[in-house]
Amino acid sequence: MITHVTSLVLFVCTGNFYRSRFAEAVFNHHAELKQLNWKAFSRGLAIHWAEGYLSAFTTDALAVRKIDLRHTGSARTQLTEHDLEAAQRRIALDRDEHHSMMRSQFPGWADRIEYWNVADLGFRTAELALPEIESKVLSLIEELNA
């Protein structure tokens, strides 16, 4: 009997509230449409820095794209060593922000994950950041589907 093991991509940001959850939902939506044997999950390096379930920027952007909230996790979740070990691809959303946090919390992983350069609110607006994340996620989907 052959079983299909789903591969995992992990999106990491600071609060697991905005960027990583958007990336997770966009990835899972498109992976499902393409019947890709990959699933995304997301985590935060400092989830105590944000309050609430999910950023309104994220929920609004997903609604505009007709992406159901079931494609993102049910709660903000702190990154663990187990998460890093479980994923086949690991992507932090902003090198400038997250590399030092990774070095501090997971020194053995800091230089073993991918980093994008999508800055948080206050440095880049959601109107610019979310389409950039979407574009990067769609490129990743195409890469994994090749």
Nearest to residue 93, comparing CAs of 30, 26, 39?
A: 26
Domain ranges of the chain: 7-145
Letter for the amino acid at 4?
Answer: H
Q: Is pLDDT of 1 > 60? A: no
Give the pLDDT band of residue 94 (cuts 50, 70, 90).
Answer: very high
Backbone angles phi, psi at 19, to 5 degrees: -65, -50
Supply the pLDDT for residue 15. Answer: 92
The predicted model gives 68-97 an average pLDDT of 96
Q: Determine how β-strand 114-115 pairs with β-strand 89-92.
A: parallel
- 7-145 is classed in which CATH architecture? 3-Layer(aba) Sandwich (3.40)
Position 140 scores a pLDDT of: 98
The 10s digit of each residue's pLDDT in 95-140 is 999 999 999 999 999 999 999 989 877 787 788 999 999 999 999 9
Write the DSSP symbol of residue 87: -
Reported as a single tens digit per residue, the pLDDT across 3-26 is 456 899 999 999 999 999 999 999
> What is the structure's pLDDT at 93?
97
pLDDT tens readout for residues 34-77: 999 999 999 999 998 777 889 999 999 999 999 999 999 889 99
* Range list of β-strands (E), 1-143: 7-13, 38-44, 89-92, 114-115
Amino acid at site 145 = N
- What is the predicted pLDDT for the residue at 5? 63
